[in-house]
Amino acid sequence: MARIGFIGLGMMGLPMARSLLRHGHHVLGCDSNPAARDALAEGSSAVAFAATPAEVAAGADVVVLMLPDSKVVSAVVEGQGGLLAALKPGQLVIDMSSSLPAETRRLAPLVAATGAMYADAPVSGGVAKARSGTLAIMFGGDDAAWAKAQPVLAGMGEQLIRCGDAGAGHAAKALNNFLYGAGLLAAAEAFRMGEKLGLDLSVLTDVINASSGRNVATELKAQAMIQQTYPPSFQLGLMRKDLATAAAIAEETGEPAVALKATLEMFNEAVDALGPKVDCTEIHRYLGMVD
């Protein structure tokens, strides 16, 4: 099995790296957080660690990035002690972060100039599916990158969807999450209005899910909003970030994206009021605050 360099052992990266270990891969980890390193190393002899991204590139066959945003990805790739200084011909770098598609398209030829390959493979499914290794993964990259990536990605996900060239996976992820965010906001507004009318919200949910208004939010998040429990699944700040990425795509393509802009504005306000760490379903609580 390949030795996988894994840079970024956070909320998603740690369970994804653990899933690779369960599938028989050796992992060369890199993260500034000692607690994350200790958690990955616990009980496994197939784990080693590197101090810098360059050391990861020197010691791994494939390098996976799971980082907060494109700014951090760029620093890891291009910065001092970064990947570019140590990549070898035939190596593959897979950015599994939720990055800006335009930035991915910028980095891909820089990596290609070293003889290595650069691809994007953002994920959907949250921490629960990262733990079980059943993520949906959206891949962007050429044929050679796709062939080399598949055995690695299969260790973390069960749905591997090839979207096009480098950057296509990040674009597909952002547009998908725009639809999720807009649907979540619409569901929260519908529940608020139904409550004010005195409707039984459980019955309203049944009506929606048996009819044309159903979406992931009404099917999976309705009880969290009705009961106002908002358990952690996907942070409000991460939803805002993905909506901002979709807005960057709208600007790049010249699309007015009226619904997207309205959704992003509401999530911006909610993050300002509630902070970025609460669950995205708390957009429902925010609506109650501004009534």
Active site residues per annotation? 173
Question: What is d(CA 69, CA 245) in angstroms, rounded to the nearest whole number?
Answer: 10
Strand partners, 94: 64, 119
Measure CA 265 to chain center: 21
Token pair for 79: 């910065």
For residue 286, which amino acid is it?
Y
Angle formed by the axes of helices 236-253 and 101-112, to 10°?
Answer: 80
CA distances from 126 to 17, 46, 240 (A): 14, 25, 15
CB 14 within 8 A of CB 73: no
Report how far apart the first and last C-alpha atoms of the chain are (Å, whole number).
Answer: 56
